[in-house]
Chains A and B, each alone.
Chain A
Amino acid sequence: QKEVEQDPGPLSVPEGAIVSLNCTYSNSAFQYFMWYRQYSRKGPELLMYTYSSGNKEDGRFTAQVDKSSKYISLFIRDSQPSDSATYLCAPRGRNTDKLIFGTGTRLQVFP
C-alpha cells in the first residue's frame, strides 16, 4: 500500500462548480498536510497547509483533515478556468521536513 493515495483524474468540471479533491494516507504519524498546485511545465506551488485535524479556509480554498479516517480534502468554491492544474497532497510528520507526495489529481475547469 502506498503511503499516500490520490485519484489521478482527470476531473473535468464547469466554471463555477465546487470541486472536491481527496487523498488518503496510511501513516498515522503525519501531522502536517500540504496542498500544492502545479501548472503544466511549472514547479509545484504551495497552496495551503493544515496542522492535525480540522479545517482551514483561504479565499475560495478550504483544506480539511480527518485524522481518524486518514482522509485529506481540498475544496475549491466557484472554480475558475485558471484553477486548471494538477493538485498534489503532501503530508509529513512532526519532526521531519520530508514530504510524501500523492500522484496528483489533474483538474480541468471549462468555461
Chain B
Amino acid sequence: SAVISQKPSRDICQRGTSLTIQCQVDSQVTMMFWYRQQPGQSLTLIATANQGSEATYESGFVIDKFPISRPNLTFSTLTVSNMSPEDSSIYLCSVEFDGTFFGQGTRLTVV
C-alpha cells in the first residue's frame, strides 16, 4: 500500500479566493487522482494527473477552475479557484499502487 499525506486537512475560505491542496505520497507513482465528495454524495473523479503531462479532466470539470500540478512522481497539487459556496466539499487525492489508495481528504468550507 501507499501512505498519502494531504494538506490542509480542513479550511474555511472566503468566496472569490483560491485554495491549493497538496498531496504527498511515500512512493513513486505514475498516476494520481483528485476526487470530490460533496455532502451526502459519492466520490466524483475530477481529474487524473500523470507526471510530465497535462492533467486529464472529467466531464464537468475544467482546468481554469481546478488547475493541477504534478511536478514529480510523489507530489501533486489541486487548486480550487475563484471559490463559491457550491465548492464546499471534501477533496481527496488518491494513487494507484496495486489498488487505489486515498489521502485523508481536505474539508473545504466556502463562506
Contact = CB atoms under 8 A, between A and B. Distances in A.
A101 B100 contact: no
Contacts of B33: 97
Given A45-B102, A46-B99, A98 B45 contact: yes
> Which of B6, B96, B100, B101 has most A Cβ within 10 Å?
B100
Main SS class of interface, B: strand
Contacts of B101: 46
Chain A, interface size category, equals: 20 to 34
Contacts, number: 47
A98 B102 CA distance: 13
7 A-B pairs with the lowest CB-CB distances in the bound complex, closest first: A43-B102, A101-B42, A101-B43, A103-B42, A97-B96, A43-B104, A44-B102
Interface of A: 4, 6, 34, 36, 41-46, 49, 88, 90, 97-99, 101-104
